[in-house]
């Protein structure tokens, strides 16, 4: 498949990141299913149904994303055209309703990825199952694949991580600089609101004053994400949850796409050939932004990313 290249009328990583929000296609109807988790919580999984014998693509969303994110909508539309089934699991609290337990979700939540994939595999009764993750979801999925090594092949045909923040420290500090702080403010608006609601349900879960004073992701992760999920703080969370350390042990076909102009992750932090296993294919186009991948004549479309995923899972697995 043709490597990604941004159209000439859309220059720069910031524009390539933000433009998809303006041309997001219309969502198609999905069937929602609520799953009870082993610890007494729930997640909501949105399904695009199709022929029972067709492949199933599982798509894990990014930070504060959902089935309404532009990449989820464009992937659902592409799957419908191909006659594939699609499952869009929502991480806890991201489907529009606060979850029941104190915990939420985080970039290294490979245990949740494992539970979801095992449940889908069981329901899929031997048919092809492919897994992809966008941004945070991509990091968690790639970490899972590295941890599972050969065992991952019993559940999935392969994995794909798109714009995954493979080095969480590099990503977190990058988002605290310059124009990138607009993304941080967007994330913190919803993270703080949801965290406040969780704190009202579980008093003393974390330091409310520190949470409300957070001005960047390090502040928030040090006050909330880290302590709530068993980490010593932001630095410990970022170090233990970064997928880059697990790329060498992935033993299923893996596609890892990271544009070099992604505002979220500096090109200097991207992995090279010595950082990966022979099963991993790195694609690091010069353009694309953060989950942008706009293509075509003005005003453009969002077809390239779902086409890349479907091509990988249909033509490039070995």
Over residues 196-225, mean pLDDT: 98
Digit-coded pLDDT (tens) for 134-144? 999 999 999 99
Judge contact between 160 and 309, C-beta under 8 A.
yes
DSSP category for residue 115: H
Each domain of the chain, given as residue ranges in start order, spans 13-166+243-315, 168-241
Question: What are the Cα distances from residue 316, in Å, to 244, 254, 268?
Answer: 22, 10, 28
Give the mean pLDDT of the chain. Answer: 97
Would you please indicate which residues are annotated as catalytic (active-site) residues? 135, 262, 290
Residues sharing a CB contact under 8 Å with residue 220, sequence separation 6 or more, in sequence order? 188, 191, 192, 211, 214
- Strand runs labelled E in the chain: 31-36, 42-48, 56-60, 85-89, 129-134, 159-162, 254-257, 280-283
pLDDT digits (tens, 9 = 90+) for 275-317: 999 999 999 999 999 999 999 999 999 999 999 999 999 999 8
Return the CATH number of the domain spanning residue range 13-166+243-315: 3.40.50.1820
Global pTM value? 0.98
Q: Could you say which DSSP state residue 225 is in?
A: I
Residues 233/172, Cβ–Cβ less than 8 Å: no
């Amino acid at each position: 498949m043709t490597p990604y290249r941004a159209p000439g009328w859309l220059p720069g990583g910031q524009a390539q990141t933000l433009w998809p929000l303006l041309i997001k296609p219309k969502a198609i109807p999905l069937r929602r299913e609520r799953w009870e988790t082993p610890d007494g919580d729930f997640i909501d999984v949105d399904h695009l149904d199709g022929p029972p014998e067709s492949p199933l693509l599982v798509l894990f969303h990014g930070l504060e994303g959902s089935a309404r994110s532009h990449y989820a909508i464009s992937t659902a539309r592409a799957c419908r055209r191909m006659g594939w089934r699609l499952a869009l699991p929502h991480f806890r609290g991201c489907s529009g309703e606060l979850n029941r337990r104190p915990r939420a979700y985080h970039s290294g939540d490979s245990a949740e990825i494992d539970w979801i994939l095992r449940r889908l595999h069981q329901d899929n009764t031997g048919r092809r199952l492919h897994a992809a993750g966008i941004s945070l979801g991509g990091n968690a999925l790639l970490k899972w694949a590295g941890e599972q090594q050969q065992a991952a092949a019993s559940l999935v045909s392969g994995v794909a991580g798109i714009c995954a923040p493979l080095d969480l420290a590099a990503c977190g500090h990058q988002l605290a600089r310059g124009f990138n702080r607009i993304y941080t403010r967007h994330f913190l608006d919803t993270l703080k609101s949801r965290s406040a609601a969780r704190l009202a349900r579980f008093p003393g879960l974390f330091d409310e004053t520190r949470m409300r004073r957070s001005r960047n992701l390090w502040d928030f992760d040090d006050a909330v994400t880290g302590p709530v999920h068993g980490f010593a703080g932001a630095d410990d969370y970022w170090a233990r949850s970064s997928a880059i350390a697990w790329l060498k042990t992935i033993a299923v076909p893996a596609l890892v796409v990271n544009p070099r102009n992604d505002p979220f992750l500096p090109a200097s932090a991207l992995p090279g050939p010595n950082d990966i296993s022979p099963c991993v294919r790195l694609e690091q186009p010069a353009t694309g932004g953060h989950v942008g991948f706009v293509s075509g004549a003005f005003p453009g479309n969002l077809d390239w990313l779902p086409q890349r995923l479907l091509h990988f899972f249909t033509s490039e697995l070995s």
